[in-house]
Structure 1
């Protein structure tokens, strides 16, 4: 009986994660506000902008969009994996990947998004070489390579672990 009560209590504790996901929704709203600010700034300065300025502005908007997408992935996948299932039948616009992504897939999507965001930061730095120090550029490249390496190692370890589970099932 004590074991059953403890297990129910532990299982119910997953709902403590729900406020974290609500907080991420608010952070998505703040990111939208910053994206709109950036868009207004971008449009206002477009007539006198150089080609590099336009590319940097577009890269900034892409960066903000990828970050917003990353937040959405974390909200829905995390909620589905750790708190409660969402009934997709009630949502006609429900993306196919939602409800199908497991924790391993979530980790890979997160790291892939982080690598893409990091790559955009490095590209923005290369487009703006006159205004960035060699030291800062070096750090951006090193950090990006660490993210890429981490992604490769994570994918390999997940693949190895998945292969071990397939062998165990056979």
Structure 2
């Protein structure tokens, strides 16, 4: 009886995570506001902008978009894996991957998004190097951090492959 009660409490405690996912929806709205602000700034200054400024503006928009994708992956996959299954039957445009991403897939998608965001930040830093806005020391650390993200992604994929091959 005590064991069943403890297990029931533990099982129901997963719903404590639901407000976290709702909070991430609010964070996504804040990100949308920032994207709109960046887009407006980009469009209003496009005529006087240099080619480099245009590329940097586009990279900023792509960066925000990838961050939004990252948040969506966490919201849907996290909710689906840890809180409750979502029934896609009532949603004809439901992406197929959302109900099939397990924890391993979630980790890989998260790291892939982080690597892409890191790569964009690194590219933006390279483009600002000639403007004197970025020191070589800071650029070196950005390259090292990006390398760590890439290396971590490869190691995670390799270890997941080894684990699944053994099963």
Question: Displacement, 1:128?
Answer: 1.1
* 2:134 aligned residue: 132
Question: Displacement, 1:127?
Answer: 1.0
C-alpha distance after superposition, 1:101-142 (max 9, x if no partner): 000000000000000000000001111112210011111111
Alignment of 1:129-168 (within 5 A): 129=129, 130=131, 131-165=133-167
Question: Displacement, 1:163?
Answer: 1.0
Distance in 2 (alpha carbons) for counterparts of 1:136 and 1:28: 29
Question: Displacement, 1:24?
Answer: 0.3
* 2:51 aligned residue: 51
- Structure 1 residue runs without a partner (length 5+): 166-170
Q: SS in structure 1 opposite 2:97?
A: coil
Distance in 1 (alpha carbons) for counterparts of 2:134 and 2:147: 19
Distance in 2 (alpha carbons) for counterparts of 1:82 and 1:30: 25
Which is worse superposed, 125-134 or 100-109?
125-134
* 1:168 aligned residue: none
* 1:122 aligned residue: 122
Alignment of 1:69-148 (within 5 A): 69-129=69-129, 130=131, 131-148=133-150
Distance in 2 (alpha carbons) for counterparts of 1:95 and 1:9: 32
Distance in 1 (alpha carbons) for counterparts of 2:59 and 2:128: 12
Distance in 2 (alpha carbons) for counterparts of 1:16 and 1:92: 29
Distance in 1 (alpha carbons) for counterparts of 2:51 and 2:128: 12
Distance in 1 (alpha carbons) for counterparts of 2:90 and 2:74: 21
* 2:10 aligned residue: 10
Between Structure 1 and Structure 2, how many residues are aligned?
A: 165
Which is worse superposed, 108-117 or 154-163?
154-163
Distance in 2 (alpha carbons) for counterparts of 1:93 and 1:75: 17
